[in-house]
Amino acid sequence: MPTAKLQITLPEQVWIYQISSEYPEAEFRVLAAFPAEGTGVGLLEITAEDLPAVVGAMDDREDIVRLDLQQASEETALVEFETSEPLLLFSVREAGLPLELPFPIRDGVAEVEVTASRDRLSSFTSQLEAFGMSFDVEYVRELVNSESLLTDRQRELLGEAVEAGYYDTPRECSLTELAEQAGVAKSTASETLHRVEEKIIKEYVEG
Protein backbone atom coordinates (compact mmCIF):
# COMPACT_ATOMS: atom_id res chain seq x y z
CA MET A 1 0.00 0.00 0.00
CA PRO A 2 1.54 3.34 -1.03
CA THR A 3 2.35 6.27 1.22
CA ALA A 4 2.19 9.74 -0.32
CA LYS A 5 3.59 13.00 1.01
CA LEU A 6 1.85 16.11 -0.28
CA GLN A 7 2.41 19.84 0.05
CA ILE A 8 -1.15 21.20 0.06
CA THR A 9 -1.75 24.90 -0.54
CA LEU A 10 -4.83 25.83 1.44
CA PRO A 11 -7.57 28.09 0.00
CA GLU A 12 -6.83 31.79 0.42
CA GLN A 13 -10.18 32.53 2.06
CA VAL A 14 -9.62 30.05 4.92
CA TRP A 15 -8.46 31.38 8.31
CA ILE A 16 -5.41 29.14 8.63
CA TYR A 17 -4.11 30.25 5.22
CA GLN A 18 -4.56 33.92 6.04
CA ILE A 19 -3.06 33.78 9.53
CA SER A 20 -0.14 31.52 8.60
CA SER A 21 0.57 33.77 5.59
CA GLU A 22 0.43 36.87 7.78
CA TYR A 23 2.91 35.20 10.18
CA PRO A 24 5.04 33.07 7.78
CA GLU A 25 7.65 32.31 10.46
CA ALA A 26 5.01 30.63 12.65
CA GLU A 27 4.39 26.88 12.58
CA PHE A 28 0.95 25.45 13.23
CA ARG A 29 1.36 21.78 14.14
CA VAL A 30 -1.92 19.87 13.96
CA LEU A 31 -1.86 17.31 16.78
CA ALA A 32 -5.48 16.17 16.55
CA ALA A 33 -8.37 16.89 14.21
CA PHE A 34 -11.80 15.47 13.53
CA PRO A 35 -14.97 16.64 11.80
CA ALA A 36 -17.97 17.46 13.98
CA GLU A 37 -21.54 18.39 12.96
CA GLY A 38 -20.80 20.91 10.21
CA THR A 39 -17.59 22.04 11.91
CA GLY A 40 -14.11 20.74 12.61
CA VAL A 41 -12.39 20.44 15.97
CA GLY A 42 -8.64 20.46 16.29
CA LEU A 43 -5.68 20.71 18.65
CA LEU A 44 -2.83 22.95 17.50
CA GLU A 45 0.69 23.45 18.76
CA ILE A 46 1.66 26.93 17.65
CA THR A 47 5.29 28.06 17.61
CA ALA A 48 5.86 31.73 16.81
CA GLU A 49 8.04 34.68 17.73
CA ASP A 50 4.99 36.88 18.33
CA LEU A 51 2.77 34.24 19.90
CA PRO A 52 0.15 36.58 21.46
CA ALA A 53 -0.45 38.21 18.07
CA VAL A 54 -0.96 34.85 16.36
CA VAL A 55 -3.37 33.55 19.01
CA GLY A 56 -5.16 36.91 19.02
CA ALA A 57 -5.56 36.76 15.23
CA MET A 58 -7.21 33.33 15.60
CA ASP A 59 -9.50 34.60 18.33
CA ASP A 60 -10.65 37.50 16.12
CA ARG A 61 -11.81 35.22 13.30
CA GLU A 62 -15.53 34.72 12.78
CA ASP A 63 -14.92 31.24 11.33
CA ILE A 64 -13.24 30.17 14.61
CA VAL A 65 -16.34 29.45 16.67
CA ARG A 66 -14.44 28.34 19.78
CA LEU A 67 -10.88 28.86 20.99
CA ASP A 68 -9.40 27.47 24.22
CA LEU A 69 -5.80 28.18 25.19
CA GLN A 70 -4.67 24.99 26.94
CA GLN A 71 -1.14 26.05 27.84
CA ALA A 72 1.49 28.53 26.69
CA SER A 73 5.14 29.42 27.09
CA GLU A 74 7.11 32.29 25.60
CA GLU A 75 7.01 31.03 21.99
CA THR A 76 4.78 27.90 22.05
CA ALA A 77 1.08 27.47 22.77
CA LEU A 78 -1.32 24.54 22.79
CA VAL A 79 -4.71 25.61 21.45
CA GLU A 80 -7.96 23.71 21.06
CA PHE A 81 -10.29 25.22 18.48
CA GLU A 82 -13.46 24.65 16.50
CA THR A 83 -13.87 26.06 13.00
CA SER A 84 -16.79 26.34 10.62
CA GLU A 85 -14.47 25.81 7.60
CA PRO A 86 -12.43 22.62 8.07
CA LEU A 87 -11.96 22.08 4.34
CA LEU A 88 -8.99 19.75 4.69
CA LEU A 89 -10.91 17.56 7.13
CA PHE A 90 -13.93 17.49 4.84
CA SER A 91 -11.81 16.39 1.87
CA VAL A 92 -10.25 13.61 3.97
CA ARG A 93 -13.67 12.45 5.16
CA GLU A 94 -15.13 12.41 1.65
CA ALA A 95 -12.17 10.37 0.37
CA GLY A 96 -12.57 7.91 3.26
CA LEU A 97 -8.93 7.76 4.32
CA PRO A 98 -7.15 8.50 7.60
CA LEU A 99 -5.06 11.64 7.96
CA GLU A 100 -1.71 10.90 9.58
CA LEU A 101 -0.99 13.16 12.54
CA PRO A 102 0.74 15.33 13.50
CA PHE A 103 1.36 17.49 10.42
CA PRO A 104 2.68 21.06 10.09
CA ILE A 105 1.19 24.11 8.37
CA ARG A 106 3.46 27.02 7.48
CA ASP A 107 2.81 30.04 5.30
CA GLY A 108 -0.46 28.66 3.89
CA VAL A 109 0.89 25.20 3.09
CA ALA A 110 0.09 21.94 4.90
CA GLU A 111 2.55 19.07 4.69
CA VAL A 112 0.68 15.78 5.06
CA GLU A 113 1.33 12.08 4.66
CA VAL A 114 -1.41 9.61 3.79
CA THR A 115 -1.23 5.83 3.44
CA ALA A 116 -3.99 4.26 1.39
CA SER A 117 -4.75 2.37 -1.79
CA ARG A 118 -4.05 4.18 -5.04
CA ASP A 119 -7.79 4.51 -5.66
CA ARG A 120 -8.29 6.27 -2.31
CA LEU A 121 -5.25 8.49 -2.88
CA SER A 122 -6.70 9.46 -6.24
CA SER A 123 -10.05 10.17 -4.58
CA PHE A 124 -8.29 12.30 -1.95
CA THR A 125 -6.53 14.47 -4.53
CA SER A 126 -9.82 14.86 -6.42
CA GLN A 127 -11.48 16.04 -3.20
CA LEU A 128 -8.66 18.52 -2.58
CA GLU A 129 -9.24 20.01 -6.01
CA ALA A 130 -12.99 20.08 -5.44
CA PHE A 131 -12.46 22.12 -2.25
CA GLY A 132 -10.14 24.53 -4.05
CA MET A 133 -6.82 23.21 -2.76
CA SER A 134 -3.80 22.81 -5.03
CA PHE A 135 -1.01 20.41 -4.11
CA ASP A 136 2.44 19.14 -5.01
CA VAL A 137 3.37 15.49 -4.53
CA GLU A 138 6.73 15.20 -2.80
CA TYR A 139 6.80 11.42 -3.13
CA VAL A 140 4.71 8.26 -3.43
CA ARG A 141 6.33 5.17 -1.93
CA GLU A 142 5.14 1.61 -1.79
CA LEU A 143 5.51 0.11 1.69
CA VAL A 144 7.68 -3.00 1.60
CA ASN A 145 6.67 -6.10 3.50
CA SER A 146 10.01 -7.23 4.94
CA GLU A 147 8.59 -10.63 5.88
CA SER A 148 7.90 -11.46 2.25
CA LEU A 149 11.08 -9.76 1.02
CA LEU A 150 13.62 -11.55 3.24
CA THR A 151 13.97 -15.04 4.63
CA ASP A 152 13.96 -15.61 8.40
CA ARG A 153 17.73 -16.16 8.40
CA GLN A 154 18.36 -13.06 6.33
CA ARG A 155 16.26 -10.90 8.68
CA GLU A 156 18.01 -12.42 11.70
CA LEU A 157 21.51 -11.75 10.37
CA LEU A 158 20.55 -8.27 9.20
CA GLY A 159 19.21 -7.48 12.68
CA GLU A 160 22.45 -8.70 14.28
CA ALA A 161 24.48 -6.64 11.82
CA VAL A 162 22.56 -3.47 12.61
CA GLU A 163 22.70 -4.08 16.36
CA ALA A 164 26.44 -4.78 16.26
CA GLY A 165 27.14 -1.57 14.33
CA TYR A 166 28.18 -3.22 11.07
CA TYR A 167 26.29 -0.55 9.09
CA ASP A 168 27.40 2.37 11.26
CA THR A 169 29.79 5.00 9.91
CA PRO A 170 32.49 4.31 10.89
CA ARG A 171 31.81 0.61 11.38
CA GLU A 172 31.70 -0.64 14.96
CA CYS A 173 31.94 -4.29 13.89
CA SER A 174 33.89 -6.04 11.14
CA LEU A 175 32.48 -8.80 8.93
CA THR A 176 34.72 -11.31 10.72
CA GLU A 177 33.42 -10.23 14.13
CA LEU A 178 29.83 -10.34 12.90
CA ALA A 179 30.28 -13.85 11.51
CA GLU A 180 31.76 -15.06 14.78
CA GLN A 181 28.93 -13.47 16.77
CA ALA A 182 26.32 -15.05 14.47
CA GLY A 183 28.06 -18.43 14.51
CA VAL A 184 28.51 -18.68 10.74
CA ALA A 185 31.42 -18.68 8.33
CA LYS A 186 32.67 -15.31 7.15
CA SER A 187 31.84 -16.25 3.53
CA THR A 188 28.28 -17.20 4.55
CA ALA A 189 27.77 -13.92 6.36
CA SER A 190 29.13 -11.99 3.40
CA GLU A 191 26.93 -13.78 0.85
CA THR A 192 23.81 -13.50 3.05
CA LEU A 193 24.22 -9.77 3.62
CA HIS A 194 24.96 -9.22 -0.06
CA ARG A 195 21.68 -10.94 -0.97
CA VAL A 196 19.84 -8.85 1.64
CA GLU A 197 21.35 -5.63 0.31
CA GLU A 198 20.56 -6.63 -3.27
CA LYS A 199 16.88 -7.30 -2.49
CA ILE A 200 16.43 -4.12 -0.46
CA ILE A 201 18.20 -1.87 -2.96
CA LYS A 202 16.33 -3.28 -5.96
CA GLU A 203 13.03 -2.99 -4.11
CA TYR A 204 13.82 0.62 -3.24
CA VAL A 205 14.85 1.57 -6.79
CA GLU A 206 11.89 -0.17 -8.41
CA GLY A 207 9.49 1.32 -5.85
CB 93 within 8 A of CB 45: no
Residue 175: which domain range? Answer: 146-206
Please check whether residues 20 and 122 belong to one and the same domain: yes
3-state helix/strand/coil string of 154-189: HHHHHHHHHHHCCCCCCCCCCHHHHHHHHCCCHHHH
Please check whether residues 56 and 16 belong to one and the same domain: yes
pTM: 0.66
Is the pLDDT at 1 greater than 80? The verdict is no
How many structural domains comprise the chain? Answer: 2
Please check whether residues 85 and 159 belong to one and the same domain: no
Is the pLDDT at 201 greater than 90? The verdict is no
Average pLDDT over residues 171-190: 94
97, 125, 142 - which closes a domain: 142
Q: What is the pLDDT of residues 25-47, one digit of tens each?
A: 999 999 998 877 788 899 999 99
Please check whether residues 7 and 92 belong to one and the same domain: yes
